[in-house]
Structure 1
Amino acid sequence: MPKESAQKILIVDDNPAVGKALHLLLDVHGIAAEIALTPQAATKRLEEDGNIALVVQDMNFSEDTTSGQEGKALFYSLRRIRPDIPIILITAWTQLETAIELVKSGAADYIAKPWDDIKLVTTIKNLLELEDLQQQQRLQAQALLTEKTRLSETANLCGLVYQSTAMHALVSLAVKIARADVPVLITGPNGSGKEKIAQIIQANSRVNTGPFVCVNVGALPQELIEAELFGAEAGAYTGISKKRIGRFEAADGGTLFLDELGNLSASGQAKLLRVLQSGEFERLGSSETRHCHVRVISATNTNLERAIKNGEFREDLFYRLNVFELKVPPLEERKEDILPLIHHFLRGQAQLDHSVLHALHCYPWPGNVRELENACQRALILNEGGKLQLSDFGLPINETTIDNYKPVIAEPSREVIEMVLKQNQGVVAQAARQLGFSRQALYRRLEKYQIEHNQ
């Protein structure tokens, strides 16, 4: 039967009959495997063969030994060689407590003797699929870093912090269309970073030396929106005693960013359509037609197509603004960006255990990047120089939740290691203490992930 995967399973058991039975079981299901009869042979094979993707190991290797201590020693030896390799423990009930201890230390699972063939094969296949996915993610992350570096060499990314493919695709498109002198509509939930995308478009446009004027239409009273955009003459309305320059005039020769566009009044929409078509407008209280050349970038979290159906937004204005639409995904859909953003907002001023980092990574962040930034600022204010606790961030996550994450993150990711290393100015000994590793253990992970560090 042809093998389904090039990955290989290492079976470690001193009983040849058990090893052969497991080997046959895996072979029937198209999974390549080999057998090691001793812990010494197992560690040697793992050092030599990079194709070994998973280990299934017994807990005892000497006659009349039932404590499970030999299996425990083997587990830690294998983890020293390959910190990320999944290990399944085959255990009798007498070693169950030790097996559970090892699961908390990072073992993938434990299977009781006599094992259930279906459960064991299902567990192995699931772990191999997960390993495949993680390997793909590592390769994608490396490719993305290369692409992002190339993009930053030719374009101004305005300090945008991201590590997700979704944001890279969005930023690449924003840079590409920046030189086209056409309106752009940026959509996405509140706090997701729409203004930053607008800044990138301005910075890479032909009018990048011109003004970049922002106006939050949603924050203005309806009666002041037109005056804000187009200006007003003295006496045009109660309370104005001198001429007011509108945002279009202020942005002449540059870019005008209209945020929360969905709140613009019907009269304001009509005037905006005119200025987009002809570049002409009048100040409130004036019949003099003025001219300007402005690149308009608008943003909204409103469903404008639904607003059109409800008669709340002009269809002709929508199509005038929507020459290009850029959709900014919510932070929950680009979790790869969470840890880099945390490091950016904390500015290296505080330390976090990787259990807290993982809890922050799992939080859905309904307020998106803005909520994350506010939470980090809150944590820095409340903390007095020690390690940040989850409670410092003011999120609706119970402190006890951290314990539920620990088994999952017994082996910290590359991102966590890089963050902790930066927090400690590259000093390996300090970073190792924070992560709960020996220096040698951290050095192995740095080598594995090819992370640069101080000697």
Structure 2
Amino acid sequence: MHSERKKILVVDDEPGVRDSLTLLLKGNYDVITAEDGEEAIGQVAELQPDVVILDLILPKVDGIEALKSIRKSNPSIPIVILSATNTVKSAVQALKCGAVDYISKPFDVEELKQVIESALSSSPDNGSQTNRAESLPRKPVLPEYSGDFGPMIGKAPSMKELFSKIKHIAKCDTTVLISGESGTGKELVARLIHSESERSGAPFIPINCSAIPETLIESELFGHEKGAFTTAVGRRVGHFELADGGTLFLDEIGELSLQVQVKLLRFLQEQEFYRVGSTVPRRVDVRVVAATNRNLEEAIKEGRFREDLYYRLNVIGLKLPPLRDRFEDIPYLAEFFVEKFSSSYKGRKLQFSQEAMNRLVEYNWPGNVRELENVVESLMALSTKDLIEESDLPEKIVSNNHISDLASETVSGRIRFEEAERRFETEIILKALRKTNYVQTRAAELLGISRRILKYKMDKLNISDKPPQHQKAE
């Protein structure tokens, strides 16, 4: 049983602190101690502790440098910072460098235990650290490839215009609102704005507003004080403080509640905020870049988004084109993704036949560049051939060709426009009916029309209101 106890490395130059922590923790953990950063780095390499409790002010090698060294050699070991009240700014810097949490001196015993338990639960738990790290499924680290502008590919006129705007916007230290469909590369653009700006040496902190429960988003953004709510066992630094000096990227900004929108608006107006549970305003130097795939102007009309916040965010607006509107980039993107994933699949270099590439170009790409990337990686992983033919492509892409063929027939004069329209409406209504098991109300909702209009079109196009098998039975 003893071998299963977790190992805690306590690093502090004060013997009293090391002794106190050893006394508090030895009942549940095996405690190792180090009195300076140099010794701590050696202890980590030799003994592979499960958690490191690290003071910031240390002799020989200071806490920040020790943290960086440990993170570089043992990235899976969680590190908790011990911070005196006058070193909170350094604690924030430590969090930016990879520490999982920090506690202030003099520390509360229950808070300390809670932080350690949380750190342990955030790391894999099956045996020694070496074994745990080896047991984790790891996605291969992909090399970074240069595109036409940073990692972005774009030869279409709309993309060249976008790249020019990014270069200009990066130099203007004001808020930016990026809009575009899912998968168009909004975070990539935000990172490019940051990397091209004078803030490039400071942190870029992204947060997806739609991925965090409404009850937690305020705490994630602004931080909280100990006791601010039931589970607030310690002080927490929010994303605004983590991004101090750099850029905070708020993805899916349209998902924020009206209550949080008010607090974000206050920050943009005053450049200050309050941690949850605090009455002390805090000031940070942060550039906010926001993104959305929603129509915020419609959300304003519906009362779901504040108009004043919209104008504060939309000082500079960038709209990203969907992939279907820059189809000339598809061959270059496909080639780029083949190159990107090649090292992960033993150097494979896929090529596309002209027919296959035509289908890729003709496809509507509702998931945009992200969907194309997934298709290419899927082909890299699953295809047994290095030359991809039309038949090797996913069914959704191959079956999409009917509409393109219809357009070709119409433009070439082989069929009249009215006939093409009739065929298109017939196909799309039948697809909606099949998808909803011929429940007309649901099919109408799917098509965005009323049931009455759907029924009118079905009668006009002689489409049965029953599935084919029922027709045969009759």
TM-score interval (norm. to shorter): 0.5 to 0.7
Tell me which of 259, 263, 267 is aligned to 2:251: 259
Judge conservation of contact 2:359–2:398 (CA < 8 Å) in 1.
no
Going from structure 1 to structure 2, the CA distance change for 1:398 and 1:358 (only over 3 Å counts) comes to closer
TM-score normalised by structure 1 residue count: 0.52
Judge conservation of contact 1:391–1:399 (CA < 8 Å) in 2.
no
Partners of 1:262 and 1:320 in 2: how far apart?
14
Judge conservation of contact 2:363–2:400 (CA < 8 Å) in 1.
no
Judge conservation of contact 2:178–2:319 (CA < 8 Å) in 1.
yes
Partners of 2:400 and 2:203 in 1: how far apart?
50
* 2:298 is aligned with 1:306: yes
Deviations 1:20-76 (A, max 9, x none): xxxxxxxxxxxxxxxxxxxxxxxxxxxxxxxxxxxxxxxxxxxxxxxxxxxxxxxxx
Equivalence for 1:135: none
Alignment of 1:192-231 (within 5 A): 192-231=184-223
Partners of 1:265 and 1:205 in 2: how far apart?
30
Equivalence for 1:359: 359
Equivalence for 1:177: 169
Going from structure 1 to structure 2, the CA distance change for 1:176 and 1:401 (only over 3 Å counts) comes to closer
Q: What secondary structure sits across from 2:250 in the alignment?
A: strand
Judge conservation of contact 2:223–2:276 (CA < 8 Å) in 1.
yes
* 2:277 is aligned with 1:285: yes
Alignment of 1:235-274 (within 5 A): 235-274=227-266
1:399 shift after superposition: 7.3
What are the ranges of 5 or more consecutive residues in structure 2 without an aligned counterpart? 1-145, 343-348, 409-474
Deviations 1:342-380 (A, max 9, x none): 011111621221211111111110110111111111111
1:384 shift after superposition: 3.0
Equivalence for 1:98: none
Where relative contact order (Cα < 8 A, 6+ residues apart) is larger, the structure is: 1
Equivalence for 1:417: none
* 2:368 is aligned with 1:368: yes
Judge conservation of contact 1:273–1:317 (CA < 8 Å) in 2.
yes
1:393 shift after superposition: 4.2
Alignment of 1:19-418 (within 5 A): 157-347=149-339, 349-390=349-390, 392-398=392-398
4+ residue runs of structure 1 moved beyond 3 angstroms? 389-393, 397-402
1:315 shift after superposition: 0.9
Structure 1 residues 236-245 or 318-327, which shifts more? 236-245
Deviations 1:317-353 (A, max 9, x none): 1111111100001100011111111011111621221
Judge conservation of contact 2:148–2:155 (CA < 8 Å) in 1.
no
Judge conservation of contact 1:254–1:295 (CA < 8 Å) in 2.
yes
Deviations 1:126-181 (A, max 9, x none): xxxxxxxxxxxxxxxxxxxxxxxxxxx9x993221111110110110111121111
Q: What secondary structure sits across from 1:397 in the alignment?
A: helix
Partners of 1:334 and 1:400 in 2: how far apart?
18
Alignment of 1:432-447 (within 5 A): none
Partners of 1:302 and 1:400 in 2: how far apart?
26
> What amino acid maps onto 2:361 in structure 1?
H
> What amino acid maps onto 1:383 in structure 2?
S
Judge conservation of contact 1:382–1:392 (CA < 8 Å) in 2.
no
Q: What secondary structure sits across from 2:397 in the alignment?
A: coil
Q: What secondary structure sits across from 1:334 in the alignment?
A: helix
Partners of 1:385 and 1:168 in 2: how far apart?
34
Going from structure 1 to structure 2, the CA distance change for 1:400 and 1:197 (only over 3 Å counts) comes to closer
Q: What secondary structure sits across from 2:396 in the alignment?
A: coil
1:218 shift after superposition: 1.2
> What amino acid maps onto 2:234 in structure 1?
K
Judge conservation of contact 2:355–2:390 (CA < 8 Å) in 1.
no
Partners of 2:401 and 2:265 in 1: how far apart?
52
Going from structure 1 to structure 2, the CA distance change for 1:156 and 1:371 (only over 3 Å counts) comes to closer
1:391 shift after superposition: 5.0
Going from structure 1 to structure 2, the CA distance change for 1:275 and 1:361 (only over 3 Å counts) comes to same
Partners of 1:156 and 1:274 in 2: how far apart?
38
Partners of 1:391 and 1:289 in 2: how far apart?
62
> What amino acid maps onto 2:355 in structure 1?
S
1:277 shift after superposition: 1.2
Equivalenced residues, count: 252
Partners of 2:400 and 2:227 in 1: how far apart?
62
Q: What secondary structure sits across from 1:163 in the alignment?
A: coil
1:188 shift after superposition: 0.8
